[in-house]
Amino acid sequence: MASRTRTALLMVGACLLAGCSSSPNKTSSSTSTVLVTAASFTTVVPTTTTSTTAPVDTEPDTSNGPLLTPDDAHSVADCVKFIPIGAVMADDEATNLWDVVGRDADKLTELCTGFLTTSPQTLASLSLKLRAFEIAQEASTTTAKSTSSTTAQSTTTTAG
């Protein structure tokens, strides 16, 4: 767009210098034609591109901690999930661990990840406790739903 504007301005300037005019006093023999093209004023700057290919590191990055297998990650997630729940439920092990990390979620993740090497039994225990908690929650939810639907059915039957 800028080159078109520049070209138009140059054409107007060249026309003025050459005596171009739309004045009726000038005759056609007194006007001269100046051929100005965009190519006359275009500057081409060569560019080069260089690319370097860095070697690809195929080794996994362990700077943020050990690599976890799916089972390890699942055990750590269970630990992180259960400890705060267990502390609220007054589970002694969960309460003690929750207090050890100062009730800090980041420190809790570090603690649970550390259990992979220092105490896999603790991870297994916490994972089992979480399963038991989830089963109890599911059972109480199912019982509550069936009790409320039974109550609703008996109310409907009594009303009818």
Hey, where are the domains in the chain? 2-21+32-40, 70-149
Dist. CA 30–CA 102, nearest whole Å: 96
Positive or negative: CA dihedral 86, 92, 96, 99: positive
- Burial tier of 56 (Cβ tally within 10 Å: 0-12, 13-18, 19+): exposed
SS3 89: coil
- Residue found under tokens 């070697």: 55
Whole-number percent of the chain with pLDDT over 90: 41
- Asked whether 36 and 10 are in contact (CB, 8 A), the reply is yes
Which pLDDT score, from 0 to 100, does residue 52 have? 61
pLDDT tens track for 22-68: 545 545 455 555 555 555 455 556 666 665 655 555 454 555 555 77
pTM: 0.50
